[in-house]
Amino acid sequence: MPFIILISITSARHTKFCHNIHYSRVKNRTLKLRTENQMSNQNDQNILSGRFRGYYPVVIDVETAGFNARTDALLEIAAITLKMDTEGWLTPADTLHFHIEPFEGANLDPAALAFTGIDPTNPLRGAVSEYAALHAIFKMIRKGMKDTNCNRAIIVAHNANFDHNFVTAAAERSGLKRNPFHPFATFDTAALSGLVLGQTILAKACITAEIPFDSTQAHSALYDTDRTALLFCELVNRWKRLGGWPLPPIDSES
C-alpha cells in the first residue's frame, strides 16, 4: 500500500510539473504573438491601406458650368493618386486630366464660364465624353487599389462635397455602375487646412504650408488638383513629423 501511495504522489507531481511547463510555454507564445501583432500593426500604419483604414485616397478637382451637379455641365476633371513609401511618407503618384464635352441638355451658366475662363465650344480643348474621362480615371483607381490592397477609394478635394457631387452625377449619367468612390465620405482639404493652418482658401493654405501657388493658373483642374495633392500630403506628413502618427500600440488588456 505505501508503495502505491508513493507512485500516486510522484505521478501527481509530474503532472503538475508538466502542466506548469505547458502553461509557461503557452504564455510565452501569447506574449510573443502579441508583440509581433503590435509590431505588425505599427508597420501596417506605414502602408497606404493601413494609414486610411483601407481607403485609397484620390485627389480630384472639377471645373464646371455652375453649382448644380444634376443640371450644370462638367467641363474639366483631373485626378491624382497617392503613394506611400516604406517609412510612411505620402507623395503624389499618377495623374489623369481631361477636358469634357457638356452632356446633352446641360446648363452653361455664363457667370461660371467667365469665372473659369473655359470656352466649351473651343475645338482645341480636345474634350471627351463624361464616360470616356471617368472610365479611364476609374480604371486607374481600381489598379491602384489592387496594387495597394485597399478596398475602396475616397475623394480628396478642396471643398470636397462639390467635387464628389459632380463626379457622382456624371458617373450616373454615363451608366458607370462600378464607381470606386465611397458614396459619401471624403477628405476635405479646406476643413483640414482650417484646422492645421488656419486657412480655408486653397491659395492661402498652400502659401501658409510653403507650397508655391501661381494664381494665374488657378481654376485649371490640373493645376488645382496638383496643388491640392501637395497640400494633402503636407498635412498628412506634418502630422507624422509632429509625432501624431503612427499611433502607439494599444494594450488589449488595459
* Each residue's pLDDT tens digit, 191-226: 999 999 999 999 999 999 999 999 999 999 999 999
In this model, does residue 36 exceed pLDDT 60? Answer: no
Question: What's the pTM?
Answer: 0.82
Cell numbers given for 179: 464607381
Residues annotated within a binding site: 61, 63, 219, 224
Which alpha helices (H) appear in the chain, and where do they start and end? 2-44, 48-51, 110-116, 130-148, 160-173, 189-196, 202-208, 221-241
* Each residue's pLDDT tens digit, 130-187: 999 999 999 999 999 999 999 999 999 999 999 999 999 999 999 999 999 999 999 9
The residue written with cell numbers 509590431 in the block is: 39
In this model, does residue 8 exceed pLDDT 80? Answer: no
* Whole-number percent of the chain with pLDDT over 90: 79
The single-letter code of the amino acid at 16 is: K
Cell numbers given for 242: 509632429
Which residues are catalytically annotated? 219
The order of strands in the sheet holding 90-99 is 90-99, 74-84, 55-64, 152-157, 181-188
Domain 48-187 fold: Nucleotidyltransferase; domain 5 (3.30.420)
**Banded pLDDT at 251 (limits 50, 70, 90):** confident
Q: Name the helix (H) or strand (E) containing 96.
A: strand 90-99
* Each residue's pLDDT tens digit, 57-109: 999 999 999 999 999 999 999 999 999 999 999 999 999 999 999 999 999 99
Residues annotated within a binding site for Mg(2+): 61, 63, 219, 224
